[in-house]
Chain A
Amino acid sequence: MTAPAESGVVELTYREAIREAMREAMQRDPRVFLMGEDVGRYGGCFAVSLGLLEEFGPERIRDTPLSELGFTGAGIGAAMGGMRPIVEIMTVNFSLLAADQIVNNAATLPHMSGGQFNVPLVIRMTTGGGRQLAAQHSHSLEGWYAHVPGLRVLTPATIADARGMLAPALEDPNPVLIFEHALLYNVSGELRPEELPVDISSAAIRRPGSDVSLIAYGGMLRHALTAAEQLAAEGIDAEVVDLRVLRPLDEPRILESVTRTHRAVLIDEGWRSGGIAAEVSARIMEGAFYELDAPVARVASAEVPIPYAAHLEQAALPQVEEIVTTARALVRGDAAGSGAATDG
C-alpha cells in the first residue's frame, strides 16, 4: 500500500483492502475478533491477515483447529453472546463442513427465537477457480448460500467493495457471508476517499451502455468489463452490472438496466444448472419480459468438477471470448454462441 497522496487517493491490493477493513474494525470496536485456520501465526492461507496477530495479539486473532463446523459454531455462539466475530473459512468448498452451522443455526436463530437473538456474525471465505488448485478448492458455491433466507451474501469485486463492505456487514444484526474471489487478492487499484462508505444492498452499474447488459459479480466482473471493451470496438455498447449482493438481489437495478438495453448476458462462475444466474434470469423474465428483445443468455462454468490441468481448467471456466460471442449474438442475431446449455 502506498502512502496516501494529498488527494487521499491510495493505491492498494484487494488483499490489503480487506486487511485494512479488518484492522479498522478491530481498532474501532473491541468486540470484533478474527478466527479461522492459520489466520494468526501463518498470516492467513491467502496472507490476508498477515501482521494482524502482531498488532492485536492472540486473544483477537485466533488460530483454530481444522474444524469448520466447530469454529463456525463458536463464532455463532460468540455473536449471540454479544461479540462481533469475523470467521474466516479457507474456501467455500470447505464451508460445506460448516454448512449445518451456517444454514441450520446462523440463518435460523434470529427467526426461531422470535427476534430474541441476533447473530451479528461475518464469515469470510474465498471462492472461485483459475489457480490450479483442483476441484476440492476451486468451486463457486456462493449461489447455494444465496438460496437461504436469513443470510446476506456479498461478493466484493472492486477495491472499494473489498475495503468497504466489512464495516456495514459487522453492523448487520444477521449473519453475512463475504465471498472473496481468490484471483482478485493480488489485483491492485486506486481507492478514492469518496468511494467509501459502501452499501451492502445494491447492485452497481460499472459501465453504462445501451445495447446489452452484461451482468456479473465477483471474479467475473473483470471478464465482463474486458468483454465490454472488446464489444465497444465492434460498435456494441455494453452495460456492465455488478450484482455485488447475491442475497437479497437488487432486483430493481437489474430490471432497470435490462429495460434500458433490452438484452442480458449473465456471467456466473458457478455451474449453469440451478445457479444464481438462473435466479437472475427468472427475475428478468418475471419483471421485464416485455422489455426483452432477445432471450436472456448465460455464460457459466462447464458442468464438470473444476479440473486441475491448466488448459482444462481454463476451458471449464467462463472466458472473455465466450461473453463477447454471446453478447454479439444477442445484439447482431448471429447464430453462433447463443449460450445454449450443455448439461453435465
Chain B
Amino acid sequence: MTVRQAHQERVRTGDHFINGDVACAEGALAAGCGLFAGYPITPSTEIAEHLARRLPEVGGTFVQMEDELGSMAAVLGASWAGARAMTATSGPGFSLMQENIGWGVLTETPCVVVDVQRPGPSTGLPTQTSQSDVMQAKWGSHGDYEPVAYAPASPQEMFDLTVLAFNTADRLRIPVFIMADEAVGHITERVRIPAAEALPSSSRPRPTDAPGNGFLPFKAGPGLVPPMAHAGEGYHIHITGLTHTERGYPTNSAEVHDRLVRRLSDKVLRRADELTLVERVWLDDAQVAVVAYGGTARSARQAVRIARERGVRAGLLRLITLWPFPGAAIAQLGLQTRLVVAESNLGQVAREAERYTAGQVYRVTHAGGHLLPPEPILEAILERA
C-alpha cells in the first residue's frame, strides 16, 4: 500500500471543533508520539482511527495489534526503542493490559495508556459513559505501585492532559493513565491547539556517560529516576520484569526488592504536590463542596452554579489528577465544608476521600450508562447546606 509522505504538520495549531477522542489523538501527535499500538474498542476507537490516518503523515507508526495484551507489549517495546508510545482502550482492554502495565512500572518504561471508560463489569454498556475504572487504574496490576492518572473533563483537556501525560511519563519513567470517560471522549467542542513552541515539554533522563563505562540502568540519583538508555545505543542494557539490581540483573534478594519497590513508589509520591492537579471553584466561602472529576464535574459545576443562584454557598473541587490521590486538598476542604462526592461509579473516589476526612462523605453515585445529571447533585448540595 502506498503511504503518503510525511508532509503534514504534527501540531495543528489553531481552533478546532473536535471530539475528545480526536483531541486526545491530536495531543499525542503534538507531544511527539512516535508509535501507537492498539486494538479497536468502543468508546476509544476514534483515537486509533485518527492516529491511523495522522501518524504516518508525520513520520510516526500506527500498528493495529491482535489484542490489548499485544498492544501494551508493543508500546513498551517501542518505548525502549526510543519512541514516545501510546495505546488507547476501554475497560475490557484495560483489564487485559494490566500485566504489561506492571512490567512497565517495574522496568520504568515511559508510556501513555488512555482508558475511555464505559460501564462494567465485563462488557457492560459498551457505548455509554462511566467512571468505574478509577480504582483499576490504582490497583489493576499486581504488586505495589503508585500510578499517575489524569481525568479530563473536556475535549480541550483531552488534548492538554495527553501532552502532559507524555511529559510526566518521560520525566518519571512510568506508565501514565488518561482516565477519560465516554461522555468526554464523544462530545465535540472547540479545542485550541497552541503553537508547537508553546507546548510544555520535558524529556526522559538520559545517560551522560558513553557506553562501556559500567552504565547502571537502574541506578537513580536523588530524584529517584534513573537515566534511560535505549536499545541500539551501545549500552547493552538488560531489562527484566524480575526484581533487579541497579545493573538490571535479576536477584532473589528481599532487601533489593524492598528498596526497588519503595523507590518506584517514592519517585511518584515525593512529587505528589506537583503532580496533583485540582481546580477550585467558589470554594473560599463554601459551606458545601462537591468533589467531582471528568464528565461528571461538568454536571457538578452546573449544580453548584444553580445552588449559588439560590443563595447556597456551594463550591466545587474538580480533581484533574486522580492518582496520586489529591488527599491533602480533600482533607483541608473537609475541615471547612461538608463534602459531596459525585461520580459515575458506586463510590470509588468517595471511599478514598473518606480516608482523608473525619466525617462521612455524602455520595451521589450512579453505576454508569448516562452522564450523571446536575439535579441529584444539586439535591445533595441543598440537603447538606
Partners in one complex: no
Which residues in B have some Cβ–Cβ distance to A below 8 Å? none
Which residues in A have some Cβ–Cβ distance to B below 8 Å? none
